[in-house]
Chains A and B, each alone.
Chain A
Amino acid sequence: MKINHPLLGPRNASEFTILGDAKLLQRPNTPERDQARVFYEYLYHRDNPIGQHQELWFHEQGDRSWLIVSRDTLTHEINNVELASNVIKKGQTQ
């Protein structure tokens, strides 16, 4: 697999480590009603689809940036790569 890094161009996936489902960025606020339940869902019930999956990859042996990679779990094809910091900023301005 090659990951098309937004700043560095195509890089071999072996330079990266994966954390998993990008929903891990949406950490629940505290305190919140039904907090134990909310955090249980956040920590353990991650998306595990057949097909398109948004996931967090860390360029550990590169520029150490976090990326959000849209990847097909059936074909391993990567459709979109964005810097996680940019996605978070966009989310805040919306």
Chain B
Amino acid sequence: MAYSAIKVIKEALTGHRGWKPLWRRPEPKSEYDIIVIGGGGHGLATAYYLASEYKNKKIAVLEKGWLGGGNIGRNTTIFRSNYLLHENEKFYEMSLKLWEQFEQDLNYNAMISQRGVINLFHSDAQRDAYVRRGNSMLINGADAILLNEAKLREKCPFLNYDNARFPIQGGLWQPRGGTIRHDAVAWGYARAADRLGVDIIENCEVTGFDIQNAKCNAVRTSRGRIKAKKFGVAVAGSSSAVMANAGLRLPIESHVLQAFVSEGLKPIIPGVITFGAGHFYISQSDKGGLVFGGDIDGYNSYAQRGNMAVVEDVCEGGMALMPMIGKARLLRMWGGVMDMSMDGSPIIDRTPIKGIYFNGGWCYGGFKATPASGKCFAHLLATDENHPNANAYLLNRFEKGYMIDEKGMGAQPNLH
């Protein structure tokens, strides 16, 4: 399916009946070189990079539901690279650079908008921590600008600067951060991968792995047994359940994270703004809805919906930050299942079983990582070596004591 202005005009005049599906619906073959399990953002990006950069033939993506029906369809569409630790910052900056090239590389409109991300600070100590983080970002080739209160007031006059408990003193601004249309990310990767010959097989749930002598030869699926040399698992919230089929336990818990969107409003919020004193972040979609979210509910869940206590908590955070949003009505809310790792950082690594590779533990930072995750996972699958920008995301780092503890809070499955 190719797009052009002439095609758009022709379809507009003929009732939009000439558009074709963006990818094929192939039957699964009996054997592939590499099978990617999970047809979400990370899985599709992995398949795309395997086919485009590593020139692998005979690749399949197996998806238990419909394409892009998991967390790639249930996020708040933000990308940024504002991390402190080197191991994270180099990876997420790689991802941001890939986002900047996404539309050109795939020739697909994803409505990318580098509208900037501002993290607010509310105390001298927090400012100092943000200065340090900003410097870490600059060292790793990202962009970061410290805004004092006067400069922030110019950009965001509507914030509650004089909050008695958490006065806003300024913010750390990453101008290159922003938002991108999440569904278009899945569709863009799917179309590009399909064109390169990748078989995207929907409604094909993996129910087991055929393992002999600690080596995996095939997967059992709801559409039959499929052989391959290598299997890449990128299933986000279902990581523990899928890997349990291979007899592996993971340092991961699955939690529910809720997100919200208000009715459509005229443009009011210039970029992405995060509250530094509570857990609340907000942006405004192109349709005008205020898109916002907060903390995970806190208990293990696979339900894709949360409870009211967190809804109240998130809205209280929003009211503390910008009381004007109290006038807006909530239109929709939803939940996604997050694979929360024990240090808040992801895993892209081999597993103890030969032939099975794992990509997961994204907590609730997975969306912005999509392109780099795909590229690094493809690198690992194709070359059997960890990509230099993801070489700290090891499965055994908890056992060896090399945690990537971005928040400095130790072993908890509830960190970012």
Interface residues of A (CB under 8 A from B): 1, 12-14, 17-18, 20-21, 36-37, 40-41, 43-46, 48-50, 53, 55, 71, 73-76
Contact = CB atoms under 8 A, between A and B. Distances in A.
Contact of A48 (B250, B303, B307, B411): B250
A50 B241 contact: yes
A46 B399 CA distance: 14
Interface stretch (B185-193, B215-223, B251-259): B251-259
Given A44-B411, A53-B300, A76 B252 contact: no
A14 B413 CA distance: 19
Contacts of B309: 12-14
Interface of B: 238, 240-241, 249-254, 298-303, 307, 309, 342, 398-399, 411, 413
A40 B413 CA distance: 14
B301 A76 contact: yes
Chain B interface helix/strand/loop/mixed: mixed
Contacts of B252: 48
A46 B413 contact: yes
Contacts, number: 58
B254 A73 contact: yes
Going nearest first, the 10 A-B pairs with the smallest beta carbon separation are A48-B240, A44-B251, A14-B309, A45-B249, A40-B399, A44-B398, A18-B299, A50-B302, A73-B300, A48-B253
Contacts of B253: 20-21, 46, 48
A20 B302 CA distance: 15
Contacts of A75: 303
Most chain-B CB neighbours within 10 Å: which of A18, A36, A41, A50?
Answer: A50
Contact of B300 (A40, A45, A48): A48
Most chain-B CB neighbours within 10 Å: which of A13, A18, A46, A49?
Answer: A46
B251 A13 contact: no
23 contacts: A13-B307, A17-B298, A18-B298, A20-B300, A21-B253, A37-B399, A40-B399, A43-B342, A43-B411, A44-B342, A44-B399, A45-B251, A46-B253, A46-B413, A48-B241, A48-B252, A50-B241, A50-B302, A55-B299, A55-B300, A73-B254, A75-B303, A76-B307
